[in-house]
Structure 1
Amino acid sequence: MRPPGFWSADPGHPAARLLAPLGRAYGALTAARMDRPGERLPCPVLCVGNFTLGGAGKTPTALALAALLTEMGLRPAFLSRGYGGRLAGPVAVDPARHGAAEVGDEPLLLARLAPTIVARNRPAGARACLAAGADFIVMDDGLQNPSLAKDLALAVVDAGAGIGNGLPFPAGPLRAPLDRQWRHVGGLVLVGAGAAGEPLAREAERRGLPVHRATLATPGDGFAGRRVYAFAGIGRPGKFFDSLCAAGAEIAGRRAFPDHHPYEAADLAALEETARRLGADLVTTEKDAVRLPPDVRARVRTLPVSLRLADPAPLRRQLAGLIGARRT
């Protein structure tokens, strides 16, 4: 879905006020659900989630965490619901065999780094991770899903967006009231720069929770001076467009689609025709690229992103403490 503009406006906006009763009911139900106990596994479970609907950088964060765990000598596996895919799972993702329509777009990116299981039933998926040889499970999303007990949950926050108007869906972007979500979180990953994220950082520190600051890095190779027509169907397409500008690209045009948008033939024909008319190369995100047919994908450039921690040491210590606690 594409977030409505009033989600980032004052909570007194007429649309937010009209939807506030629904938001209170939805938020209360979600918060009560989060408080339920979940199944506990014989290995640590780390959840990479967020307080809000929409993109915050969860997948790059999950990839960075798995890379850290691998450096520490562990065998992480990713567990994902596979949003947008039709397979209920548990299924081991094979990028050579599966497409986004089957397993979702994010699992295809995760599977490039470590074994990835897609499952609507999280405990069943976690057991499949163990069967695949994992000794540490990284959940991509699932903070609000109580079915699996989490040893640690990190909330990923886009510093430029924060929590919008601070109201629960549909009046705002929160999945549940913020004060009810904090009790399930063991740390904050603040991505990028922006004043909107600072109140959350201060609140995390007040609660004694670590704040891990990070940026989304792009190689940008080959984009300086290149004329491009950019498109993206992610949580915050503007971040992608800004990254292209930072890489030196000349953006002749841009088009934003809803998050996880399934590209139809008409979409692709229109994109290619506009790029041809503008005399520009088509460029998109890695997450969008895996949703394109192979023949179209071959004609579209991608701009990769990765999470770069300002200081990896505190996060490494937090992970080591989590592993040590499990071994005692």
Structure 2
Amino acid sequence: MLVQPKFWQEKKSLRSTILMPLSYIYQWMGRCRFQFKQPYKADIPVICVGNVTLGGAGKTPVVRLIASLIRYSFSLDAHIVTRGYAGSLKVPTRVMPESDVKLVGDEAILLSKTAPCWIGSNRRDTLIHARKEGSSVVVMDDGFQNPSVYKDISIVVIDGPFGLGNGCVFPAGPLRESLDQALKRADAVIMIGEDKQHLFDHTTATPVFRARIQLWAQDVAPRVKRAVYAFTGIGRPEKFYNSLREAGVPIVKHRSFPDHYVFSESDIQNIFSEAEQLDLDIVTTEKDYVRLLPHHQSRVYQIRSD
């Protein structure tokens, strides 16, 4: 579980300067992987949805949207391939909505609600498995920096309000690689939310599409008139809280956990107790909801988004 240090958001930081030599080594290793690795070319189209930063950029709703459009607008059997981050299974495995979150990870369960979803630590093997099971198009969640599979289309997702942090590559900053390097391989960029760092004020060779994540009205409407206790364990929790506020939901109290956090019994009971004392409804994201035990889910509202 990644907890991003504050200096990743600071433009001039002593810590970033000290770590810069390691960033150069990290970038060099990444370039070497692409230079010497021969990618596997599938006999079906592969669409990769990735990002250039560590942490949540909004890939999951983009993957779900693309897979849904391919399946229902073009009548093609699109499957989703992902690593199954935070899950324990390593071999290629079909994920179902009722799968054990500890085995397959929370994001894979969400993706499985849209299209057949496969997880595995080896993307090439998982892709081959999906193909054997009837996939005519693969939408790959993440893997933009992975050279083992040839991508017919690569889409980079950027969280507009977060941008690129301090603009430095890991470990001096949040970048997996420089934006310039990424744009050389990307076919399109999807900017989610306002481009606060003005990364694309000027025309680029890579097309940039603007988008925003919107909460489902049917999830929000019943609770607009009542204040809430919001909790989440996602990469950038402020995105969830801001979305609730924009939807008119008053947040009296909130609590943030690390990304993909496994909630303990005491964590949940503390939230229940505080919410009861303050007479609040309890809300969380759809991704957090699948990590809750069934008897906890009955007391928590999940807020879905597209």
Matches within 5 A, 1:9-88: 9-10=10-11, 12-35=12-35, 36-70=37-71, 71-88=73-90
State the match for 1:226 in structure 2: 226
Q: Whole-Å Cα distance in 2 between the matches of residues 76 and 100 of structure 1?
A: 23
Offset, 1:236: 0.9
Q: 2:214 aligns with which of 213, 217, 242?
A: 217
Which secondary structure does the structure 1 equivalent of 2:295 belong to? helix
State the match for 2:92 in structure 1: 90
Q: Whole-Å Cα distance in 2 between the matches of residues 200 and 8 of structure 1?
A: 19
Task: Name which of structure 1's ranges 27-36 and 12-21 shifts more when overlaid on structure 2.
Answer: 27-36
User: Are the equivalent residues in 2 in contact too, given 1:28–1:177 (CA < 8 A)?
Assistant: no
Q: Whole-Å Cα distance in 1 between the matches of residues 70 and 304 of structure 2?
A: 22
Which secondary structure does the structure 2 equivalent of 1:216 belong to? coil
Q: Whole-Å Cα distance in 1 between the matches of residues 140 and 275 of structure 2?
A: 37
Task: Name which of structure 1's ranges 19-28 and 136-145 shifts more when overlaid on structure 2.
Answer: 19-28
Q: Whole-Å Cα distance in 2 between the matches of residues 116 and 300 of structure 1?
A: 26
State the match for 1:326 in structure 2: none
1:111-133, CA deviations, whole angstroms, 9 ceiling, x for partnerless residues?
Answer: 00110000111111001111221
Offset, 1:245: 1.0
1:37-78, CA deviations, whole angstroms, 9 ceiling, x for partnerless residues?
Answer: 310000000000000101110000001111221211211000
TM norm structure 2: 0.94
Q: Whole-Å Cα distance in 2 between the matches of residues 9 and 56 of structure 1?
A: 19
> Which amino acid in the other structure matches residue 207 of structure 2?
P
Matches within 5 A, 1:167-178: 167-178=168-179
Which secondary structure does the structure 2 equivalent of 1:199 belong to? coil
Task: Name which of structure 1's ranges 174-183 and 225-234 shifts more when overlaid on structure 2.
Answer: 174-183
Which secondary structure does the structure 2 equivalent of 1:180 belong to? helix
User: Are the equivalent residues in 2 in contact too, given 1:46–1:152 (CA < 8 A)?
Assistant: yes
Q: Whole-Å Cα distance in 1 between the matches of residues 42 and 290 of structure 2?
A: 32
Q: Percent identity?
A: 38
State the match for 1:124 in structure 2: 125
Offset, 1:279: 1.4
Offset, 1:286: 0.3
Q: Whole-Å Cα distance in 2 between the matches of residues 267 and 31 of structure 1?
A: 42
Which secondary structure does the structure 2 equivalent of 1:41 belong to? coil
Q: Whole-Å Cα distance in 1 between the matches of residues 174 and 162 of structure 2?
A: 10
Offset, 1:32: 2.4
> Which amino acid in the other structure matches residue 133 of structure 1?
G
Q: Whole-Å Cα distance in 2 between the matches of residues 239 and 75 of structure 1?
A: 32
State the match for 2:186 in structure 1: 185
Which secondary structure does the structure 1 equivalent of 2:138 belong to? strand
TM norm structure 1: 0.88
User: Are the equivalent residues in 2 in contact too, given 1:188–1:201 (CA < 8 A)?
Assistant: no
> Closer, same or farther in 2 for the Cα pair 1:138/1:211, shift >3 Å?
same
Task: Name which of structure 1's ranges 20-29 and 160-169 shifts more when overlaid on structure 2.
Answer: 20-29
Q: Whole-Å Cα distance in 2 between the matches of residues 235 and 184 of structure 1?
A: 25
Q: Whole-Å Cα distance in 2 between the matches of residues 283 and 90 of structure 1?
A: 33
Q: Whole-Å Cα distance in 2 between the matches of residues 155 and 303 of structure 1?
A: 25
Q: Whole-Å Cα distance in 2 between the matches of residues 83 and 256 of structure 1?
A: 19
> Closer, same or farther in 2 for the Cα pair 1:31/1:200, shift >3 Å?
farther
Offset, 1:201: 6.1
1:153-211, CA deviations, whole angstroms, 9 ceiling, x for partnerless residues?
Answer: 10000111111111111110001233322222111011111322x31463xx42x2211
State the match for 1:133 in structure 2: 134
Matches within 5 A, 1:170-319: 170-196=171-197, 198-200=198-200, 202=202, 205-206=203-204, 208-218=205-215, 219=217, 220-306=220-306
1:82-116, CA deviations, whole angstroms, 9 ceiling, x for partnerless residues?
Answer: 000000020000222x2221101111001001100
State the match for 2:160 in structure 1: 159
> Which amino acid in the other structure matches residue 15 of structure 2?
A
Which secondary structure does the structure 1 equivalent of 2:30 belong to? helix
User: Are the equivalent residues in 1 in contact too, given 2:87–2:101 (CA < 8 A)?
Assistant: yes
Q: Whole-Å Cα distance in 1 between the matches of residues 262 and 30 of structure 2?
A: 27
> Which amino acid in the other structure matches residue 290 of structure 1?
V
Task: Name which of structure 1's ranges 81-90 and 213-222 shifts more when overlaid on structure 2.
Answer: 213-222
Offset, 1:267: 1.4
